Amino acid sequence: MLEEIVGSSWHRFISQRAMSHYPDAQVKLEDVRYSMGVFFRALGGEGGLRVESATDSKHYARRSILQRIAGSGNKVQYAWRDDETLRLPESIALFPTQTLNRDLYLWLTALSVVSLSNSEAKDWISRNQYRTRKTLALWPGLTSRYQCLLSAHLEQRPDPKTLSKREADQEDAICAALKDDHQSISLEYAKHPPQPVLLWLHPAPPSVEFNGTKTANDPDHSASSNEKNPPTTKQQKRKQGKREEMPQGNDGLMSFRLESLWSWAEYTKVDRTTHEDDEDDAMMTAEDLDNISVSQNSETTAGKIKLDLDLPSSQYDDLILGEGIAVDEWDFKSQRLQKNHCRLQMMQSKESDAMELPQRLVTPARKLRRQFEIIRPQRHWVSRQSDGTAIDLENYINFLTDQKRGTVNSDMPVYRALQNQTRDLSCLLLADLSLSTDAHINNTARVIDVIRDALFLFSEALSVSGDRFALHGFSSRNRNHIRFYTIKSFDQAYNNEVRGYINAVRPGYYTRMGAAIRYASKLLIQQASSQNLLLILTDGKPNDLDKYEGRYGIEDTRMAVLEAERMGLRPFCVTIDEQAENYLPYLFGQRSYLLIRDAKELPRKLPLLYLRLTQH
Task: Write the CATH number for 451.
Answer: 3.40.50.410
Q: Are residues 497 and 356 in the same domain?
A: yes
How many CB atoms are closer than 10 A to CB 570?
16
End of a domain among 190, 209, 228? 209
Handedness of CA 503, 507, 509, 513 (dihedral sign): positive
pLDDT at position 270 is 47
Question: Does residue 260 lie in a domain region?
Answer: no
DSSP assignment of 415-462: EEEEEEE---EEEEEEEE--GGGGSBSSSS-BHHHHHHHHHHHHHHHH
Q: How many angstroms separate the Cα of 289 from the Cα of each of 8, 29, 198, 351?
A: 21, 22, 23, 50
Calpha distance 402→395 (Å, rounded)? 10
pLDDT at position 135 is 93
Q: Are residues 366 and 410 in the same domain?
A: no
Question: Does residue 74 lie in a domain region?
Answer: yes
Question: Does residue 262 lie in a domain region?
Answer: no
DSSP H stretches of helix in 114-256: 124-138, 143-156, 165-179, 223-228
pLDDT at position 401 is 78
How many CB atoms are closer than 10 A to CB 615?
9
User: Are the CB atoms for 51 and 36 separated by under 8 Å?
Assistant: yes
pLDDT at position 348 is 84
pLDDT (tens digit per residue) in 227-286? 444 444 455 556 565 656 666 655 555 555 555 555 544 444 444 444 444 444 555 556
Instruction: Report how many domains make up the chain.
Output: 3
pLDDT at position 531 is 87
End of a domain among 193, 209, 225? 209
pLDDT (tens digit per residue) in 311-336? 444 444 566 665 789 999 999 888 89
Question: Does residue 87 lie in a domain region?
Answer: yes
Q: Are residues 458 and 575 in the same domain?
A: yes
Question: Does residue 432 lie in a domain region?
Answer: yes
How many CB atoms are closer than 10 A to CB 149?
22
- Note the pTM of the prediction, 2 decimals: 0.67
pLDDT at position 455 is 94
pLDDT at position 526 is 93
pLDDT at position 278 is 47
pLDDT at position 208 is 44
Q: Are residues 451 and 415 in the same domain?
A: no
Question: Does residue 287 lie in a domain region?
Answer: no
Q: Are residues 364 and 415 in the same domain?
A: no
Q: Are residues 467 and 511 in the same domain?
A: yes
What residue ranges of the chain have pLDDT lower than 50?
A: 208-233, 264-280, 300-316
Which of 606, 527, 609, 608 shows the shortest CA–CA distance to 568?
Answer: 527
Question: Does residue 481 lie in a domain region?
Answer: yes
Calpha distance 113→86 (Å, rounded)? 9
The one-letter amino acid at 193:
P
Query: How is residue 580 annotated by DSSP?
Result: G
Q: Are residues 200 and 330 in the same domain?
A: no
End of a domain among 187, 209, 231? 209
Calpha distance 326→343 (Å, rounded)? 5
Q: Are residues 553 and 506 in the same domain?
A: yes
Calpha distance 390→14 (Å, rounded)? 97
Q: Are residues 194 and 326 in the same domain?
A: no
Burial (Cβ within 10 Å: 0-12, 13-18, ≥19) of residue 608: middle
Q: Are residues 201 and 332 in the same domain?
A: no
Structural domain for 325, as ranges: 319-372+424-614
Which of 534, 530, 352 shows the shortest CA–CA distance to 427?
Answer: 534
If DSSP states are collapsed to H, E and C, what string results for 515-561?
Answer: HHHHHHHHHHHCCCCCEEEEEEEECCCCECCCCCCCHHHHHHHHHHH
Question: Does residue 248 lie in a domain region?
Answer: no
Q: Are residues 399 and 356 in the same domain?
A: no
Extract the runs of DSSP E, i.e. beta strands, from 208-300: 209-210, 239-243, 291-294
Q: Are residues 482 and 360 in the same domain?
A: yes
